[in-house]
A and B are shown apart, each in its own frame.
Chain A
Amino acid sequence: MRRIYESEALHRDDEDAFSPSEDERSGRLQSFRWINASLFSRLLVPHRLRSWAVSVRIETPREEYPVGTAVPFRITMKNALPIPISIRTASPLLWTWTVDGYPEASHVPVYRPPETTGAFRFDRGEHKRFSKRWRGFFRVSETEWERAGPGTYRIGVELNVPNAAGKGLSDETTVRIVPESLRG
């Protein structure tokens, strides 16, 4: 868990006595490097190549899960190029996981991303790994959930770019949810 005071999300301003003061320990070098990296990527690498450079994979440890258990899955994103890449996303929401095409297994929008583009940054040759789980529910309204019954479900991941599938920036796998009694 990240705490707000330790993060860069805290507005700091030495000119304003009532804003937090600048934190010398914070990762300025880090962000400086990123500015250069994304500029570099913007200048040199055409958009199309940027999406080809990055590959996306999703896997689950097993193919079958009994009703009522969470389905863990692992997402790997790789930048194959030896230079940093920055992919422009439709909003600050960089990517989502989906179940049967529903973002985060919800039939209703969960977040309200602002209408500004975002940048998904990959260091040279970087592999990013995310471990998530689907708890076996669908959110059907702001306040209600339903348990997914036995059946086959598609779990997917996609970057938040137009036509992610066409650009190879998505992946999908299927799992079977089986009745408790069939558990072997």
Chain B
Amino acid sequence: MALLEVEDLTVEFYTEDGVVTAADGLSYQIERGEKFGVVGESGAGKSVTALSLMRLIDSPGRIVEGAIRFKGEDVLQMTEAEVRSIRGNEMAMVFQDAQTALNPVYTVGEQIAEAIRHHLGYGDDEAREETIRLLDTVGIPEAEARYSDYPHEFSGGMQQRAVIAMALSCDPDLLICDEPTTALDVTIEAKILDLIEELADEFDTAVQLITHDLGVIAQVCDRVMVMYAGKPVEKAPVEELYYDPKHPYTVGLMSSIPRVGDTRTRLQTIPGTMPDLVELPPGCSFHPRCPYAEEACTLEEPPLLDPETGRPVGSDPTVEHSAACLEYTGALAEGLTYEIDVVDGPEGPQTPQAEGN
């Protein structure tokens, strides 16, 4: 049994302007100790998916379908008290924005210590000591002195570290990191990613890492799910995704990783924007932006398919690599024609670059 099994998760927002399906029939598994990446553009539904696992979606959002089994128990069927006892303890989350996680009116140390007292039943002194140890572990200098600082006295990078310390405080089995480094500059980003990786290895914690950036996934993850408009469009072991991407959107994301010395910005490389989820196009949601789109793509929506056999994979975890493109049903007349070009740099093979035509 996998640590986490998400099956057919569907989350809808009932707004005045219409219904937004932010996660649409999503299925995936995470094994114990595994590092699983979720990548996709802004608005793809990554945060909504992650927050659903923790049961943190409120009205007008609704989880309308699906199961989220954590160690075999369906989180969606639990009482609020049961969810609370898992949240933080066994499944913890580093929120996309550190300010969401830290309460401005308590000192950083107090907040973490409180979580430790509450969840692990430590006494005041023990909790304080443990907190200082954790702050030190995540690389906060002079942890003992910083214990009594308020969140606003911390820099962005330090806040993010404190949030990670908090998430790790109860030694969770699953750590969900929602773009833990977006607000930070590259050197700090690299440090925080290293930190997450180290801590995960040390404590054998499974990680679900959410990001816009395939480069970050390559650095940290074992397997990856690419999301577009609320749906998974490709799932694969990281190596395979890089060397043999099967979905045109993945290829687009790949060419948006800047090469060394390349000054193109990301937005220039995949033309167009993701559709408004309140008004999805017919057929394959990616067709308005897909360089390989044909008439068939406007009439049929492909499920995740095994590229070898063309068969839908459903939630079958034994198929390692799957992609949602009509190419694999044989419905395309022209087919996909990109090439993957592995660029060798001074430090060995670098991220492959895709060349479409």
Contact = CB atoms under 8 A, between A and B. Distances in A.
Interface residues of B, number: 57
B233 interface: no
A112 B103 contact: no
Interface in B78-133: 84, 87-88, 92-93, 95-97, 100-104, 111, 114-115, 118
A11 B14 contact: no
Interface stretch (B16-24, B238-246, B338-346): B16-24
A130 interface: yes
Interface in A1-29: 1-5, 8-11, 14, 16-23
Nearest to B93: A18
A18 B88 contact: yes
Contacts of A92: 14, 59-60, 62
B300 interface: yes
Contacts of A130: 17-18
Most chain A CB within 10 A, of B48, B96, B279, B282, is at: B282
B58 A10 contact: yes
A137 B287 CA distance: 15
A135 interface: yes
A128 interface: yes
A183 to B, nearest CB: 20
Nearest to B89: A18
B309 to A, nearest CB: 18
Contacts of A93: 14, 19
A113 interface: yes
Contacts of B279: 132-133
B81 to A, nearest CB: 11
Given A5-B100, A10-B58, A145 B19 contact: no
Given A9-B59, A10-B56, A145 B299 contact: yes
A20 B166 CA distance: 12
A118 interface: yes
Contacts, number: 118
Interface in A117-168: 118, 120, 128, 130, 132-133, 135, 137, 139, 142-147
A94 interface: yes
Given A111-B12, A143-B301, A9 B95 contact: no
Given A21-B101, A146-B299, A10 B64 contact: no
Contact of A11 (B58, B92, B283): B58
Interface residues of A, number: 41
B87 A19 contact: yes
Given A93-B19, A112-B65, A18 B92 contact: yes
Most chain A CB within 10 A, of B55, B299, B302, is at: B299
B43 interface: yes
B115 A135 contact: no
Contacts of A118: 14
A114 interface: yes
A18 B115 contact: yes
Nearest to B178: A5
A128 B16 contact: yes
B180 to A, nearest CB: 14
Contacts of A132: 18, 279
Contacts of B60: 9, 92
B3 interface: no
A156 B43 CA distance: 29
Nearest to B276: A1
Interface string B261-299: 000000000000000110101110000000000000011
Contacts of A137: 282, 298-299
A111 B277 CA distance: 13
Nearest to A113: B14
A145 B283 contact: yes
Interface string A52-81: 000000000000000000000000000000
A10 B51 contact: yes
Nearest to A132: B279
B28 interface: no
Nearest to A18: B88
Interface in B113-164: 114-115, 118
Nearest to B302: A143
Interface in B6-64: 10, 12-19, 21-22, 42-43, 47-48, 51, 54-62, 64
A145 B284 CA distance: 10
Interface of A: 1-5, 8-11, 14, 16-23, 92-94, 110-114, 118, 120, 128, 130, 132-133, 135, 137, 139, 142-147
Given A19-B56, A120-B16, A128-B16, 6 more contacts: A3-B42, A3-B43, A10-B100, A17-B111, A18-B92, A137-B298
